[in-house]
Structure 1
């Protein structure tokens, strides 16, 4: 097992957090590395060990809490549920120290948010459907209800598929709403390509978040570092892993 590597965002400062690469971990085969996807078909024991290793690397002793992601816009306050009882949602928030919020991705955009002064954090899984439906807006609203203030919230967008590798259909723009065409560019095969990272950043800015850091890391192109659903599909691979993104509050 190689050493686990963590990507941290300057925008989140000293708040315990991390976007993880696939390096390290105990999974083998097509999902070799730090596969943290409970729905990946990997051995659940290995996945849980990978999730434990990631949590210990960010906030030792913290309780990791995730959701059953469904590409929607629901946000929940982190609770005491087990992995088998995860609610269906795509974002979660907490103001409780010792809790690590988790989302897993494999091309969709992971978004971590924090208001350190209020002691409120959020984690978001933003695929294009969730992003268009306002999943980041839901997370921000939940943070505000827990005492955060919009002018103090910082956000970071982690590894996601880049526009150059995200080909979509010609009618895709219709689902993006007014002004959505600015996030599309002509691709080499004559179809448009979608800039998911820029779209998510724009939604965050429109909601009033003034400090947004986009890491610009392409899950599709970087085979050694990241899992990618679209790359695995194009290659005809039997399954694909998921990288995890975590944020929490120290006690």
Structure 2
């Protein structure tokens, strides 16, 4: 993680995080200082004229376009079910909510098109970010133009999961995983750099680094590591800035967004 890529922006309400890699787009990973403020309110800190798009997040691998939302979503009481949104026009802000899961903001440096993705272990195990990349490509994007900012999420050191969960996630990044048994997959997982999984003292448990798995999934699609930035903040360990479901078991969220050019 390169912490120099990330800066806190201050407002009268509180702080939000931005990433230098996405400097050409107005964007933000909002902190818990903005609790209970909706995207329609938060957008004023970035571009009051931008339209706002969000979905009902269901821990899926579904990515929809803003056109789909326009066609099917009557109001915020009737949200389209998905976990990612990709823009179709300029000045569209796309939003995702998180409280330990990884918020992923994607931008195309050539077209100005952007996406916001919510990826917990379920979305990661079903490769939602890879689905978003495929959608960009289907609309003419080239891999070398795609930029990725992976926002604050829970760190592996404090994210204990069942081995079964880790195996589902590891299946997406280990070559020839179908021909490996569960213990072999875990052994290979321990050997990955950046602590993708960590041994745990409890039986049938490991610690999982979802963000690093997403990072490896992106690279597996042919994206250069130089086009990926990872926030150096853990939601669980930084209560002054972030909500964490694992820490409090309360259903509070912080919002992340990016606006298309």
TM interval, shorter chain, is: 0.7 to 0.9
Task: Tell me whether 1:21 sits opposite 2:31 in the alignment.
Answer: yes
Name the count of aligned residue pairs.
223
- Per-residue deviation at 1:170? 2.9
Partner Cα separation in structure 2 for residue 141 and residue 85 of structure 1? 27
- Per-residue deviation at 1:162? 0.4
Gaps of 5+ in 1: 26-33, 36-46, 234-238
- Per-residue deviation at 1:173? 3.0
Would you say the 8 A contact 1:107–1:161 is kept in 2?
Answer: yes
Task: Tell me whether 1:66 sits opposite 2:76 in the alignment.
Answer: no
Q: 1:230 aligns with which of 243, 246, 251?
A: 246
* Structure 1 equivalent of residue 43 of structure 2: 55
Partner Cα separation in structure 1 for residue 167 and residue 146 of structure 2? 31
Could you report, residue by residue, the CA deviation over 1:101-133 in whole angstroms, capped at 9, with x for unpaired residues? 000001000000001311211110000110110
What SS does structure 2 have at the residue aligned with 1:8?
strand
- Per-residue deviation at 1:248? 1.2
- Pairwise mapping of residues 1-251 of structure 1 onto structure 2 (< 5 A)? 3-23=13-33, 25=34, 34-35=35-36, 47-48=37-38, 51-78=39-66, 79-80=69-70, 81=73, 82-176=75-169, 177=171, 179=174, 181=186, 182=189, 183-189=196-202, 191-210=205-224, 211-233=227-249, 239-250=250-261
Q: What TM-score do you get using the length of structure 2 for normalisation?
A: 0.80
Q: What TM-score do you get using the length of structure 1 for normalisation?
A: 0.83
- Per-residue deviation at 1:189? 4.6
Would you say the 8 A contact 1:92–1:124 is kept in 2?
Answer: yes
What SS does structure 1 have at the residue aligned with 2:28?
strand
Could you report, residue by residue, the CA deviation over 1:16-56 in whole angstroms, capped at 9, with x for unpaired residues? 11111111x3xxxxxxxx23xxxxxxxxxxx43xx233211
Instruction: Please provide the CA RMSD for this pair.
Output: 1.8
